[in-house]
Amino acid sequence: MSPTEIAEVLFAVFAVLLLLGAPIMVALGIAAMAVFILQGTDLGVLIQMASSSLSSFPLMALPCFILAGALMECAGISKRLVKIAENIVGPTPGGLAVSTALACVFFGAISGSGPATTAAVGMLMIPAMTRKGYSPGYAAAATATAGGVGIIIPPSIPMVIYGVAGQQSISKMFMAGIIPGVMIALGLSLTHMFLCRAHRNGEHSWSLSKLFASLKEGFWAITAPVIILGGIYAGIFTPTEAAVVAIFYTLFVGFFIHKEIKFKAIKRSLETTTWLSGRVLIIVFTAYAFGRVLTEYRIPIEIANWILNYTNNVYVVWALVVTFLIFIGMFMETLAIILLVTPVLLPVMQAFGVDPTHFGVILVCCCGIGFSTPPLGENMFVASGIANEPLERVAMKAIPLVCVNLSVVFLLVVFPQLVLWLPELIGN
């Protein structure tokens, strides 16, 4: 069979299974198996693939970051980060909405997860915003869209997965995510200030003494990202080791500093970690098999050549790629998207001269938008559940905020140095 015929079989089987409602991991695995059977390849090779795909050292960071994020809420870290954010913003118009965006940056710099950031910040901020006169739909939309920053600000679980799938430096990806994450948070904050410019009642008053008091109370909370990221960039430990450090740091703060963590909460965090890690690792294996077929039969090169027949303008290609990523982000979960599109699109973008780190950050930013776009948008479900508000109403309120995120993504596409400047600076 030619590479074109193999690609047709691979994607046709995958698409049909998805339309029939099969889980993404089943669709990926059976599509790869179909090609192996047609090519006469021994299916026992799948066992070898499972072993090699799941024995990656960087992949060990995944369950550790998930556990660290789950422990932080019960350790009292998240509520202290929210209080710091509120005291920084003060009486700014739309101050509570701006505080939500800022708190998501703080919590995302520890948890690395969009839904975890949305849940931790939303449990505190959505009821507070509702009490102060914000509509429940807007409060939920503000939290859901800001929660997407949790996977862009390092450390980031999706960036770990991209680093493994695309064989890229995870430390470099972490560094590249800082400026885009701050830009999105700043864009959301300015939008809140404009949309809520008449909303001043009930916002927190600002004073230097209150700010210092919240910083003092939350010292151990804001020190966490400094230790985790500082240790990575100083070369003290790897991103994988940093994930383990984050767990022990959280336990130390929860038991001996805040004294709020309970053994029942630890058990609940372990259950959450086991469920999420198992689900992701199965997708990693089947996506690895799917990607192996793509690589062996040079399908990404065929796709690149097909695109080159129509255009050699990199910005046109970027527009198509971003549109595609936003579209599939409405229907697929983030880690599945990264594992699926990385082996397909990364070689294509490299053929157009795009830096792999630049592409990875754009990919993760688009996945962050996917958290806020129905029907799958995980952050939307989390936030609407907390606010007890219909998903449709939350989605309508989120439209201008999603547009802001999309505008930042296109800025990052046009000006790649916004992504690459910091990694290059540190690298030099």
Would you place residue 304 in the very low, low, confident or very high pLDDT band (cuts 50, 70, 90)? low
* 203 pLDDT above the threshold of 60: no
Q: Which residue has the higher pLDDT, 428 or 381?
A: 381
The pLDDT assigned to 364 comes to: 93
* 187 pLDDT above the threshold of 90: yes
Would you say 84 and 345 are in contact if contact means Cβ atoms under 8 Å apart?
Answer: no
Report how far residue 194's alpha carbon sits from residue 191's, in angstroms, rounded to the nearest whole number.
5
Tell me the domain boundaries of the chain: 58-281+299-427
Selection from 7-16, 158-167, 217-226, 414-423 with the highest mean pLDDT: 414-423
Would you place residue 184 in the very low, low, confident or very high pLDDT band (cuts 50, 70, 90)? very high
* 107 pLDDT above the threshold of 80: no
Closest-CA residue to 340 (of 51, 32, 6): 32
Q: Radius of gyration (Cα) for the chain, nearest Å?
A: 22
The pLDDT assigned to 182 comes to: 92
Selection from 79-83, 111-115, 141-145 with the highest mean pLDDT: 141-145
Question: How many percent of the chain have pLDDT more than 90?
Answer: 14
State the chain's mean pLDDT as an integer.
82
Q: How does pLDDT run across 216-262, given as a tens digit for each residue?
A: 888 888 888 788 778 877 778 777 787 788 888 888 988 888 888 88
The pLDDT assigned to 122 comes to: 80
Task: Give, rounded to a whole angstrom, the gap between the first and last alpha carbons of the chain.
Answer: 47
Q: How does pLDDT run across 41-63, given as a tens digit for each residue?
A: 788 777 777 676 666 666 677 67
* 69 pLDDT above the threshold of 80: no
Q: How does pLDDT run across 341-372, given as a tens digit for each residue?
A: 888 889 889 988 999 999 999 999 998 898 88
Closest-CA residue to 395 (of 405, 410, 380, 411): 380
* 18 pLDDT above the threshold of 90: no
Closest-CA residue to 28 (of 15, 41, 38): 15
Output the six-digit token pair for 324: 């595609």
* Alpha carbon of residue 397 to chain centroid: 21
Closest-CA residue to 368 (of 413, 322, 414): 322
The pLDDT assigned to 348 comes to: 85
Q: How does pLDDT run across 152-170, given as a tens digit for each residue?
A: 988 888 898 899 888 888 8
Q: DSSP characters for 128-154?
A: HHHHTT--HHHHHHHHHHHHGGGGTSS
* 209 pLDDT above the threshold of 70: yes
The pLDDT assigned to 414 comes to: 94
Q: How does pLDDT run across 76-95, given as a tens digit for each residue?
A: 877 787 778 777 776 777 77
Average pLDDT on 289-308 reads 73
